[in-house]
Amino acid sequence: MRILGIETSCDETSVAILETNGRRFVLETHVTASQIQDHLPYGGVVPELAARRHVDMIFPLLVSACVPFDGSGLDVIAVTAGPGLVPSLRIGVETAKILSTVWKKQLVAVNHLEGHIYSAFLPDLTVGDKVVIQDEKKELFPILCLLVSGGHTELIIMKNHGIYERLGMTRDDAVGEAFDKVAQMLGLSYPGGPAIAARAIHGRRDAMVFPRPMKDSHNFDLSFAGLKTAVFVHLKAHPIQNEQELNDVCASFQEAAVDVLVEKTVRAALQIRPQGVLLAGGVSANHRLRDVLEERILRACPGTTLLFSPLAYSGDNAAMIAAAGYIRACRNEFVNPLELAADPHLSLV
């Protein structure tokens, strides 16, 4: 089966062709166009600008990915249908609908968060490399998934391929959004996550004691608005005087955010005793989060399989959409192109 993956949920335009033979994946082509420089002057993603850039890039990327003009050799088209920014989602969805109709190819609608989950099943590979995805063996499941991005922060139980249950989620800001907003307060560049992480390496994690909202609550929900506000209040009372103070604020904020994420995940793992713990989403690229989560999980639940999204696939990309689309296609979960619509609030569960 050869799957064309299309991803345009936010500010990355991405196209990939994934070939499967049973459970063996071969990533034939994968191209992504980033819009970071376009949105940099605004300190965040401007939805209408993002949509225009997707319009500019989607067909050139299809050509760059060597997608046949007549769709020959392709079996399935997988596209992100949501969640995400409506103007951005529509470009990918409408493109996929047109190609599906003209080429007479089966169409699969993929949840963006499910795509992130399946990014963790793709090791660091370049085009042409092969990877074997785990078959639906019960010993792999359940998997506890920590999804962390600019728009979502959720703890999900993956009971089997395509079967999910939500344990908890943020009640306000997503952790990636908190990173972006704190970076803005500090005058750092967009996107905020990498900017803060780079500074945090040179800072003291215990220089400021920022709050850990909901860390001790008797559920698995999270909150980051209070942490963000605490940084704002601190900066008002103690304006940054030098580079070291800036680094210290970054390190202390990052440590507080990581502490909450890891504590909730470890507690969930101790309760559920999953076979694996999966980390995915844009914020999964944060090395401090990866290191602390790995250390704490293996100490609390020895023998647990760790499935961390490779850095190359932690951001939005079409390879993960094609991988998730393969699972849906195997279950014949195809959609009518005439009925598919972008859904910015599409839920995983």
Binding residues for substrate: 147-151, 180, 193, 286
- Known binding positions: 112, 116, 147-151, 180, 193, 286, 316
If DSSP codes are grouped into helix, strand and coil, which group holds residue 15? strand
Long-range pairs of 43-47 with CB within 8 A, sequence gap ≥ 24: 43/180, 43/184, 43/190, 44/180, 44/184, 44/190, 45/10, 45/11, 45/85, 47/85, 47/86, 47/87, 47/88
CA distances from 212 to 223, 318, 345 (A): 9, 34, 28
- Known binding positions for Fe cation: 112, 116, 316
Provide DSSP, 330-346: HTT----TTT----TT-
Residues 6+ apart with CB under 8 A from 59: 95
Tokens (6 digits) for 331 = 């279950």
- Taking the CA atoms of 130, 136, 140 and 143 in sequence, report the sign of the dihedral they define: positive
